[in-house]
Structure 1
Amino acid sequence: MAGQDGGHGLGVDLGTSHTVAVLRWPDGRTRPLLHDGQPILPSGVFLDAAGQPHVGRDAQRLARADPGRYEPNPKRRIDEPAVLLGDREVLTVELLAAVLGTVAGAAVEAVGFLPPAVLTYPATWGARRRETLAAAVARAGWPPVAAGGTLLVPEPVAAARYFADVLCRPVPVRSALAVFDFGGGTLDIAVVRNEGTGAGGRTRFAVVGAGGLGDLGGLDLDEALVEHLGRTIGAADASVWERLVRPVTASQWRGRRQFWDDVRGAKEMLSRAATAPVPVPGVEQALHLTRDELESVITPLLRRGVLEAASVIARCGLSVHQLAGLFLVGGSSRVPLVARLLHAELGIAPTVLEQPELPVAEGALAELPVAVPAMQGGAGMPTSPAAVGGAPVPAQNRGHAAAPVAVVAAPPAGPTPPGGPTVPARLPGPVRRPAVWIGAGALLALVGVVVTALLYLNREPYPGIDFAPFTEVDRIAIREENPSALFTATAGKRAYVAYQRADQRLEIAVLTAGSAKVERWFTTEVAAERWAWIKALPEVLLVRADAITTSAPRDVIAFDPASGEQLWSRSVRGDDELYFFDDHVVLLDATADALVGIDARSGDDWTLPSPKGDYDSDSAVHPVRTAPEVGGAAELDGDPALPNRGDEPRLVQVGADDSIRVVDVRSGRVLASRPGAADTDDTVLAYEGQLFVAPSNDGYGLARYDLATLGPPTSIYTAPDKSRRPLDLEPCGERQVCLLENAGSDAASTELLAVRTDGTGSQEAAWRRAVPQARDLQPVGEHALVRANPGNPVSKLFSAGGDELLDRDGVAVRVDGGNLLVFAEDPGTYSQDASVAGVVAGSGALTELGQLKQVNTASCSWNTSVIVCGARAEFVVARFTAAGA
């Protein structure tokens, strides 16, 4: 195997359900890294009441007592910033770091220090997901490898290494190998080509095509088996099945999880036996599942995987017979039917091992440099793990908070925008100041016009609120004990509150926000396992159900707030995305791979297929922002509380083929398009009449397009060095945008910078300010709000000219373009006393508003005078302005 003389090494396959690591010793021997005596570490994380994470089998055991504190599949949450565990929101990057830290601790125990490491990732992951993984690596305290840093390698490249180097199967130069990676959460398929000898005399493998099914993995086979057995259980005792499907008590949740575990165990046993028992909580006699039953249930699902494999291979311009092999990896490949179907329907005999979980981790070791310099600081001496973000840190790496990360054979990032002729364009600020027309009238009229114009031009476009300490307006009682979810929303002078009832339906009240007067109550006709959110549009209230698995359908329902009547309902999936406009909702349908525009009142819709690319990656959607939107209220995550997308609502779609197009939201008509202009992982801002694109690669540039034509772009900014990458992009003043930018994965290096958009600059930043550990950027009228330090939040506010107006502990949210509320702590779903302050953006003047007692701060919403929050048994409405304001 390549790298035999390179000393110790660690290869890690961070999986959806399980994580596998393989150690290499200086003599070239390899062996799996053991956890509790097992080579496979469950990837689940449990957060105890003290905030301490537990990983693996310990997490599984603890979850039986308190399932709400357990996340079984952190990798599946890669696109979510945080996950609710018990009464705390935990950053997804911290969950991943906890798993990697557990691996690091086991490696330190095995060899005395943390060896140079290589970590794998799916070939279809874009730059944003890889950055999240890199951040988790840094939080886990992994040491750098030589000068390049910890290596990130695509999973199919690592699998190809194992196939060629360990199994000694021939893959001739320019020949290709298909890798069928069937894991717990996803099916990833890739074609990897031998590109010949590279640096160091090693064979270079590159991904030439990739795809897969994000909704097909071992978990989905388990779900199909659960539903199959459920028909038998429900026919015998409907109450038993109801408890398993819709658990309410902690014991019922434990029973549900145990049942799923037993179904999974039976599936695995049927790889070796003809029948397997499945105990049912609350039933004396166990069910028996046969291999024939298993195969009849899962065959339709696996056929989808076979068709996807054929499609990926064909898109690479290859026939199956041109491949050097078909290699099956991932734990779910152990199901015998997988190999049989692939052989029968593709005509090629797959290679599958007794332990298909191991090849990716072991193959990754071949990507480590052959010669590894001796580590500094006593690398060969035993060290004790120290916790950093829940992860052990080897002694030689303490003090290196963010090790550099090198990416090997990563999918190509979007192209750097070419320079071109300047497109005449203007980025309007939050207020369009009308020109003053002077006619040949009388002198008094002229003076009146001039005085009026001067007064208008000098007024503050977003006046400050007259903040005052909280005055409770009223409390709205919840009609039953212990509701399982609380939601609020505001829309101008109207507010909404909702909670999940014991019968799983959603109870909703419409309020007059200023007085907290209840206009009406109404209830959804359908029940749901849980509910995700409510969203207020100007004339419609939307609610969405939720489900545990991504593939399970869930309802989006529209109501008329004036009557409480249901207007329409539509079924969506967990990986579908929704975008909101004044009178429309746009759905990015992942299954159909299409945009669907829905009239918010009538439910009438249009469908527009998404652009196809070489890979089966999703497209990205960016609503065209407007000045009134960034001057209105925002939710906790920064999305507009009440969409205000203008009279001609549009969106920009970045296709899987790297094209961009502008779409009319009301008709679905494509207004303009341009090929090869952006990657789906690029940082993109569509604001008023312009589009800004910053490729997510090192040493990027910022390009500006005219939205009306999408003609040749103008380059308006170039990063000063190749270590720079964009994190976020927002408007921050007239003819100006602001960027969050950092150097690689080093969060301490993050800066906020302003770029002129009118072509008067020199492709350099107008100004820069250090904002270490920044996690997001939000526009506040003509100001820029940076929120930093997750877990110990800090909010900073900067003027359009770069003056720091606010530096305050806590999480700031936009009330409107001139005002903020600042929560002293990260909002969460648990009940707490929440201290809040009001801030006038223009001056930074701060008013302490007092405390909201025992509220669920994650449920809060607000307008420019009142805040509405859920509490344990009621909803609280409190005013934060002076009387009469």
Structure 2
Amino acid sequence: MPADYLLSVDLGTSHTVAVVVWPDGRTRPLLFDGSPVMPSAVFLDPAGTLHTGKDAERLALTAPERFEPNPKQRISDRTILLGDREVPVTAAFAAILSRVARAAIESVGHLPNAVLTCPAAWSEQRRAALHDAAAQAGYRPVKIITEPVAAAHYYTSRLSHQVGPGQPLAVFDFGGGTLDIAVLERRPDGSFGVLADGGLPDLGGLDFDAALVAHIGETVRQREPEIWKRLENPTGASELRNRRELWEEVRAAKEMLSRSSVAPVTVPDMAQSLHLTRGELDQISRPLLARAVGETQRVLGLTGRRPEQLAGLFLVGGSSRMPMVAKMLHEGLGIAPTVLEQPELPVSEGAALALTSAAPVTPPAPVPSPPAHLTAPQLTGQSRGLPPVTPGSDQTIPLRRGGDDQSPPVPPRRGTEYKARRIPPKWIAIGVAAVVLVAAATVGIWWALNPYKQRPFAEELREVGAAEPLSGEVDDGIYEVRSVGDRSVLFYTTSSTDESGQELHVRAVDNRSGELLWDAEQVLPGDGWNGTYFVSEELIAFSQEVQSGEEYSFIFLDWETGEVRNTIPSWARDAARSGELLVVGPVGGNAFEVYDADGEQVSSWELEGEETVAQWNLVGTPDDIANPSAPANGDGRLLAVSSIGVAYVFDVESGETVASEEIETVDDMYYAWNGLLYVAVDKETGYDLNVYSVEDLSEVDSVRGIESGEVAPAAITVCGETLVCVGELVEDQTGVYHWRVYDADAEEIVHEFDDREYGWIEPLGDRIMAEYYAGDDVRTQIYSKSFKSVNNSLEETFDPIDGGSALAWPGRSTFGTAVGNVIGLGRDGTRAELRTELEVLACDATDTRLVCLTPAGSQVYSFRDE
């Protein structure tokens, strides 16, 4: 068998490309259905056969729940739920690689030695998954080269661009689901080393598709509202097919606009086609691409090099084809990028070229054998009552059933989240406005169109740096952690050496390195800590009880040194953070004071006459749903309800009164969210839910006569961008609720959670995460936008950490050590066990780090890449 052929495979997020290198050096891309680019999609039929490429896409129209368009994005999940079966991600990879192998055998008569590519940031565990998949597909041990290194070799060899020793080259790899950026340096031996890498895991071609669908949807909604309603929220197989066809139409139009100035879009069930223009695409794309340009500048900055020092900026990946990509990079960096007509191809061919140089490769991994305890029936799935696995035209694999015998609803596939997401009208309006006012809407439209990405978790929880020992022996007083961005503040108490009482210690750590930034030992001797701590990018503040139940002090610390900036005496214990400001109140029963991070007062105000404050809270904002680990804590306004039932809205920074109006009584429940004030008014046999505008306190809606018997509403909380949940306590129980969901867009109660005994409820992105009781155990269940349960219930409770995932950890606000597990939860219900039996005093999480006080000291852990 000839040994001098070489097969090079780039298994990408959206597409797979393979190139065969002939013995004389000629290269030829393999064709799949007549194209060198094969969709990286898989479809599992009822017989257990995995179909790939365009076959998978066609079959997806018959059963969308059996389809995964982007298995590479699911590598951290380890398994993919297709229909009622869990398929290992490596098996999906193996099916794709088997399809490539058959094409290679048809081309050259045998399966050559192979090289595969992977992102530069992939861990050894992820690379091992590629080795495993290749072995399952019948490949001899393969070599793996990183994608930017492969692209660099194509740039110098095939395009004949000169990159001298020591010169940097930037590779901008823009695919369907992610953006990967790397700056490489040419070594004296001709190989390339990565100087810095980064990217945006939540930005790719799918995001542009989502923005364009939202733009088209605004027109369809105006002309044919019923058609758009079916496309936005399909209920059957035919409507699901129509939605998929719309997305395919939009994607095809986007690709056509890279070659022409206008492209038609056929909307299912609409008699007349719509059109997209190059100008519309450019204007809608600009806000998204602004993030890509900024990330490129950041990665280049990590190397200490300037743009003009680059030997080149090479654009690869299918999404790089859009003309606006090169244009904005040229504008932002001042250098002209290099982009090809088919930017999907260079990585695959470049990987083969790299093998002739000194480029580092990953050595073949040993092929794992099935565990000895798995019997043949277990491997085939027949012992679980599944259809037998039969040979087919695609890869056939052993499978196992996902979920329990009740066949829970299928969670949405990772690559189709945009299709399932209902984009609220106000956010679509922002997207349309961006066509006219791009610069002003850059941040807003991006947040609007894509705030709830589910990011993968790492395979395990990893220590970041060594534990920093605590100062003194901790007592059973306070253990608190507050994390924000790249830094965390940790509070703990020790017994004082002179027996005068407790001493509070405050320290700050760098979440990226785990290093101790400062340790303010014995900050404030004394006792009476009342457990209120406020931390943001600029602010560190906490309160101390000076005189029991009467006088308090708020202490402000310097973020850089830990030194006390200011101490503010106060007769109010309550406070809240509004951005970088601290709101204290009610002071003296009827006033509020606002302080900046230095402890300097910026505003103050009081209610009129003899009124006192009965209730108050900040006006919440949907930004907090997308970024719950670093919330903004309000939109800059404060709601206060007086002792005679007058509602006031104040501007926090200026102290000015925005609106005031006598609305209901002080005994009612008030909650301000997303520009609206919700008031639950208790009645004899139930309650009314009245809705007012925060701007002028005018009534905008009212749901009257909600029947709850003699049970009054006991809680109102946010459960979505336009959703609030009203909780009714279950009789004779504490902390057990029935919840009703009000939708501000629909202006009605859209759902009741009354089938279980529920605890607290909160949003997880555009889904709802609810705690419920199973006997004495508390469990967690995720619900979709249509209030269907997603995946199985989980025997842990979780805190949201970003718009697409949550985290469970031990020692949440407990005194003394706690031992428990650290578990990640995706919005699709997938569970990632990161660490078992972790012993801690207290922890807090950002979207990438878990920071804990442990018996060994302060310790930072990483559970995903930044």
Larger RCO (CA within 8 A; separation ≥ 6): 1
